[in-house]
């Protein structure tokens, strides 16, 4: 019998318990013995629920149980979750999480503790919900030099954008719809301002290139300032607007990472990823482009990834997964080191080296962000967005 | 220093050598020591090539070298490749392959030898070329009960179908184009008759449900009999025709697997996968639908997957990956146990419970294959294809 615990019994935590209930028999078959949910740690009183008998409110019960093998951290945030994760790893427990905020901000430290204690700290569910992407990246694509990662990493904003593009609904109204459907939180800032996507592109970069990219060090632009006019102009010319987290390896070896709404050509596979779905494109120098697609959030999809990690942690009990990244290196600046094509909105005459749209233009020649800004000012353009693909 | 060998220096084998040349430094960093290509085994004389010094023609050199850790088998077929794989595993070498014919026909036996000798036999490259799909299936999705797998598993036929759909080119002409571009072999039977896709859906089924599905036991239909009229009728009504390998778990626990051209709704993410690209949809009871997309063939993409497996085999030297499947179980019959929607071509009056197309009909109510055959005869339909999604 192998024992695990769930810390934080919200959407993800209760999803993990549900996946064990649904698939316990096949999980036991894969593991070679039953997987037993021994504790649920939550601040709430669960005594009236079916899980009352295994509910605890004191973390030291988990910490001091020598028969507890794995802890699932689904508390969220980077305060209590950080303290409990540290202590669980120091107590020799494997830890599995879906907490992107914690991994992006403290992953390096936590992985170093895990290495010291020879346990696993795994977080497949932190990016792309149920979509397998981190393990394919660091394992299946290990023979590649990764050149670029670009993804629709946040389901809430993708739902809002889909409503704006397909329904012609303004941002505020689409946000209210998303909240009514439970896709967006009452305080939607982390989603709509791009912070959530920013954390995820940092984790992908950390794994792809082995150096930490700090979430506060990258440029992040969300969709709250997006104008329905740009959505319309783009759509009529065969483009979609998508919020992308993007990370690139430049020729000098530096990495650039950022989040921004992009024009994406209709023919690009990522353009047709709608609603709450996520998709991540990875370009390697041997494999070319591969894409991973699926539900980026939700209780059971996320719990699927957590359960995969729990089984993987147990399969690597004796010899932990060699996973980690080093201190940050100098990042490339997105405003002047990255050269991209741009979309500008306005009634100006489309400049030389650009494709005229009705109400704007897409540059055919790439410019840095700073150059594009200058051009936008010179033309009196009222919107400026990068172009992907 | 870790030593490996390549057996069979064709497209895939030379791609693996090229990936090592391109990315040797980062591969060494991940491995913790240099990865050395010690031998290339090929029937041809390579003495005039840059690889002349490591070329050998006698397998026993590899078999008897105690310092050789991993063997890449890229010979193809199931004769010499089978003998050398058996002997390499028995000699305690890890074996990595892209050989779907061998894995589909003899994987169970070879994995049993690997288990006995505590070495790894890995074959990510055998399905989907460079696309990570087998490892995500058996590892990241291990917490799921897999319900269905459906994929565009053969790039040659997908290229031909893309030309037929988008270019209105008849099958024979599209095949000649594919041959001219090097996508199809001089004898294209394994591709166009669906055998290659059949082997791959068997491997996916083996891993998804842990029981062998024999390639000769499943129903396989290719695209050589496909009529351009059906392509046109379908396209005008919002459908694409795609050759899918498909495997399902039925309610009684039996598995059904088959290969056939399907009508796929335009809105399905797999419908827009064109040219030589592959995509595999997997549906699990927790994760929902996830899709993996990329180049399903080619020297470097396939070599990317092989190299990922080489590194993974070495990371699991001490404790091999627990991988394998048991003897075959009774398969469900696709003609009578599987209930699907169908497309029929003809000038008949569209029957009740069907959507009329110009020149045919799509049934809205599902039927077994046998029932659909009866209906087709009764209506005098001149084509019958299953509908996906």
Residues A274-313: pLDDT tens digits? 999 999 999 999 999 999 999 988 899 999 999 999 999 9
Chain B nearest-CA distance from A15, in A, is 9
Work out the widest C-alpha separation in chain A, in whole angstroms. 72
The alpha carbon torsion through B10, B11, B17, B20 (nearest 10 deg) reads -160
Separation between Cα atoms, residue B53 and residue A236, nearest integer Å: 60
Q: Which of residues 116-145 of B touch A (CB under 8 A)?
A: 124, 130-132, 135-136, 139-145
Q: Count of CB contacts below 8 A, A vs B?
A: 178
Q: Within 10 A of A83 (CB to CB), how many other CB atoms are there?
A: 12
Tokens 């087709």 belong to B376
- Give the strand pairing for B35-41 and B2-7: parallel
The Cα of B239 is separated from the nearest Cα of chain A by a number of Å equal to: 16
Q: How far apart are the first and last CA of chain A?
A: 50
Tokens at residue A363, please?
A: 């540059």
Q: Which helix (H) or strand (E) holds A158?
A: helix A155-167
**Nearest beta carbon to residue B135 from set A140, A144, A293:** A140
Q: Where are the beta strands (DSSP E) in A231-327?
A: 239-249, 255-265, 277-284, 288-295
| Euclidean distance between CA atoms B363 and B343, whole angstroms | 6
The residue whose two tokens read 């491997």 is: B203
Q: Does A273 touch chain B (CB under 8 A)?
A: yes
- Assess contact for B79 and B106: CB atoms under 8 A: no
Q: What interface predicted TM-score (ipTM) does this complex get?
A: 0.95
Q: Is A298 helix (H, G, I), strand (E, B) or coil?
A: coil
Work out whether strand A255-265 and strand A383-388 pair parallel, antiparallel, or are unpaired.
parallel
- In this structure, the strands spanning B288-295 and A288-295 are antiparallel
Kindly tell me the burial class for residue A302, based on how many C-beta atoms sit within 10 Å of its own C-beta (0-12, 13-18, 19 or more): buried
Q: What is the pLDDT of residue A218?
A: 98
What DSSP state is assigned to residue B274? -
Option in B19, B140, B288 nearest A124 (CB): B140
Q: What are the per-10-residue average pLDDT scores of chain B (389 residues)?
A: 96 97 96 97 92 97 98 97 98 98 98 97 97 97 98 96 92 93 86 97 98 97 93 93 97 97 92 94 97 93 97 92 93 95 94 91 95 96 94
- Give the residue carrying structure tokens 């009990």: A317
Tokens of B387: 């509908």
Cβ pair A312:B23 closer than 8 A: no
Q: How would you classify the pairing of strands B339-345 and B288-295?
A: unpaired
The answer to whether the CB of B327 falls within 8 A of the CB of B212 is: yes
The answer, for A22 touching chain B at a CB cutoff of 8 Å, is: yes
- What secondary structure letter does DSSP report for B351? P
C-alpha B306/C-alpha B230 separation (Å) is 38
Q: Mean pLDDT by 10-residue block, N- to C-terminus, for chain A (389 residues)?
A: 96 97 96 97 92 97 98 97 98 98 98 97 97 97 98 96 92 93 86 97 98 97 93 93 97 97 92 94 97 93 97 92 93 95 94 91 95 96 94
- Is the distance from CB of B74 to CB of B4 less than 8 angstroms? no
Q: Which residue in B95, B28, B22, B24 sits closest to B62, CA to CA?
A: B95
List the structure tokens of A278: 């996520």
Give the full edge-to-edge strand order of the sheet including A35-41.
Answer: A55-56, A35-41, A2-7, A70-73, A94-97, A121-122
């Amino acid at each position: 019998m192998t024992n695990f615990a769930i810390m934080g019994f919200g959407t993800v935590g209760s999803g993990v318990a549900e996946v064990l209930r649904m698939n316990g028999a096949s999980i036991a078959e894969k593991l070679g013995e039953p997987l037993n949910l021994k504790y649920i740690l939550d601040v709430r009183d669960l005594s009236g629920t079916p899980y009352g008998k295994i509910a605890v409110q004191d973390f030291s019960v988990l910490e001091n149980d020598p028969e507890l093998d794995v802890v699932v951290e689904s508390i969220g945030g980077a305060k209590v979750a950080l303290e409990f994760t540290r202590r669980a790893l120091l107590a020799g427990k494997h830890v599995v999480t879906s907490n992107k905020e914690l991994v992006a901000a403290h992953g390096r430290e936590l992985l170093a503790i895990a290495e010291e204690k020879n346990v696993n700290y795994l977080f497949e569910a932190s990016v792309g919900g149920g979509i397998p992407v981190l393990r394919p990246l660091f394992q299946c694509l290990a023979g590649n030099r990764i050149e670029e990662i670009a993804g629709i990493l946040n389901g809430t904003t993708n739902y809002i954008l889909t409503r704006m593009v397909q329904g012609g609904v303004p941002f505020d109204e689409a946000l209210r719809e998303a909240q009514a459907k439970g896709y967006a939180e009452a305080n939607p800032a982390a989603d709509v301002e791009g912070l959530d996507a920013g954390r995820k592109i940092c984790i992908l970069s950390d794994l792809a290139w082995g150096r930490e990219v700090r979430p506060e060090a990258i440029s992040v632009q969300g969709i709250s300032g997006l104008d329905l006019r740009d959505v319309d102009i783009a759509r009529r010319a065969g483009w979609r607007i998508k919020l992308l987290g993007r990370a690139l390896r430049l020729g000098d070896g530096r990495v650039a990472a950022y989040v921004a709404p992009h024009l994406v050509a209709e023919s690009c596979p990522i353009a047709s990823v709608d609603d709450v779905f996520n998709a991540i494109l990875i370009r390697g120098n041997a494999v070319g482009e591969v894409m991973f697609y699926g539900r980026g959030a939700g209780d059971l999809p996320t719990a699927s990834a957590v359960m995969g990690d729990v089984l993987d942690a147990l399969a690597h009990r004796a010899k932990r997964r060699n996973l980690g990244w080093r201190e940050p290196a100098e990042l490339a600046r997105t405003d002047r080191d990255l050269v991209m094509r741009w979309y500008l909105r306005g009634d100006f005459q489309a400049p030389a080296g650009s494709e005229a749209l009705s109400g704007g233009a897409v540059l055919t020649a790439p410019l840095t962000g700073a150059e594009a800004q200058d051009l936008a000012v010179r033309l009196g353009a009222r919107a400026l967005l990068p172009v992907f693909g």
